[in-house]
Amino acid sequence: MTYNRLTSYNFLFSCKFYKKNPNCPFTKLRQLAIEERTHHLKKMTFKELNNIDSIHEKCIKERKITVKKVLCKLSSCDVLK
């Protein structure tokens, strides 16, 4: 596995948000030893990798929108209206 491929899938190792998503499909993988996680990653096809990457990107976008909405409510801004 190349370094770039491993680092591009760092979400298998941690979540960038403080409060983790309880429905995250990567939670079980993150509980495995690092060697096991990288082994799973190596076995995945290009299509599978794209699929999990899409799931991750969708989650990030949705959570960023949620954070913005909460911040706007707290500061009474009109950015998302």
Domain ranges of the chain: 3-75
Look at residue 48 and tell me whether its pLDDT is greater than 80. Answer: yes
Look at residue 74 and tell me whether its pLDDT is greater than 50. Answer: yes
The model's pLDDT over 16-32, given as tens digits with 9 standing for 90+, comes to 777 777 778 788 888 88
Look at residue 4 and tell me whether its pLDDT is greater than 60. Answer: no
Say if pTM beats, i.e. exceeds, 0.75. no
- Report the half-sphere exposure of 12 (CA within 13 A, side-chain side): 21
Integer Cα distance of 48 and 53 in angstroms: 8
The model's pLDDT over 61-70, given as tens digits with 9 standing for 90+, comes to 888 888 888 8
Integer Cα distance of 37 and 2 in angstroms: 15
Contacts (Cβ under 8 Å, ≥6 apart) of 80:
65, 68, 69, 72
